Amino acid sequence: MAGFGSTISQPHVAIIPSSGLGHFIPFLRFAALLLRNGCKLTLIITNPVVSTAESELISRFLSVFPQVTEKKFTPLPLNRSTVNSTDPFALQWETFRKSAHLFTPILSSLSPPLSFVISDVTLVSPLIPITQSLRLPNYVLFISSARMLTLLAYFSSVSESKSKTEDGSFLFGNVFDIPADIDPPIPSSSLPPPLLNSNTLFAKIFMEDGPNLMKLNGLLLNTFEELEKQSLEMLTCANIKGKPLPPIFSVGPLLPHEFEGKESFETLKWLDDQKEKSVVFVGFGSRTASSNDQIRELGKRLLLSGCKFLWVVKTKIVDKEDNEGFEEILGDDLFDKIKRSQNGLVVKWPQFGDQRINGEVIEKSEWVICMKSWGWVDNVLVKGEEIGEKIKELIGSQSLKMAAKRVSEEARKAVGAGGSCEVAMEKLLQSWKKKE
């Protein structure tokens, strides 16, 4: 059979994640799921990775799963003068894309021969001609929401129909006009700022990759039907420039695994020791670095709120540059007060593009207070008093707690026996068998 060398009883799958913990973690969680379903895996990693956290995560994964083959991919140096971006992770994506031809000898030389390739969405366009030439089925694991995938799928066709200013900024208006029934509509203010100008690297990647989604063999989404039923149904029926999207498999939510490290499970143990529904989680993702002033404002209000809290702090985009200690950032007085209160657990861990759109997903489920008026990161300093008001509103709202409990139960059902995740995985594996 063309494109297959291993027996279908144990398909050989190449996993190609991109840069950033927000990409690596779901990829490795899904890799663990494939291993549990009897697949042979080769993990292809760029050399070097951007952050220390990425490197440590990969090492732990390979230690837990020694049967996984690791292949290092060393890209060609990127001429940064030709790229309109200073984001280290976006630059890594572009380095990947410019060196994609180097994947050919890696993919073609693996033994036993590959059956399938699962890559990050940032590699869609450069990998497609390679997998087509090798006659390898090509899938993308999309680590964000179905709503964000909708934006990617339609971004090229919508933006091409819009006028631009002299500096390349799109004139989208108040709403991003997706020609499909998406509820609620996507406000233009929710688009990641780099997508608002056609000259940015992020916008160029979106423009190129969206139309190429139709050339994939399938899309694997880290979401579940109960959370995004309407968006998933819309994507299944989508018609983008006259073409449908490939089959969609909702394989989420992808659950934490032991390879994610001792600290993760120590944090969970601390949470288990707290009274149910008594802890506020404060975190902005693995990409967003807050200013020291904003961290101090947040710390003051968390302390005064009297609430138990789990606070994830990040001051630099790349952890290797994160040299300041938490005590230095907060100052001795505030640091000591938080420490003495015994109310909080602070985790130093390495807010970005898709967070507003993903926030709209959970806002629709009615278990979140979404403060869009606070702007994007670095745009404004939000005072502690305003943060404190929202913390009290969050903790005191029974309707939010009930909605959160409902979504939590739906997520548990999705990953349980016979749940939507298991059903999607079974459909995926059965579709692979049919390709024999």
Distance CA 227, CA 13 (A): 28
Structure tokens at 49: 């990775």
The yes-or-no answer on residue 120 being catalytic is: yes
Structure tokens at 303: 């302390």
Distance CA 102, CA 203 (A): 24
CB contact set of 384 (below 8 Å; sequence gap of 6+): 297, 298, 300, 301, 304
Question: Which of 219, 225, 150, 248 has the alpha carbon at shortest distance from 191?
Answer: 150
Burial class (CB in 10 A: 0-12, 13-18, 19+), 415: middle
Structure tokens at 98: 């410019």
Distance CA 215, CA 124 (A): 9
Question: Which of 85, 310, 358, 119 has the alpha carbon at shortest distance from 195?
Answer: 85
Gyration radius from the chain CA atoms: 22
Structure tokens at 216: 């994939």
Largest CA distance in the chain: 69
Question: Which of 154, 145, 213, 148 has the alpha carbon at shortest distance from 178?
Answer: 154
Question: Which entry of 23, 87, 209, 319 is annotated as an active-site residue?
Answer: 23
Question: Which entry of 12, 87, 120, 257 is annotated as an active-site residue?
Answer: 120
Backbone angles phi, psi at 11, to 5 degrees: -65, 145
Residue with tokens 């745009």: 379
| Residues labelled as active-site residues | 23, 120
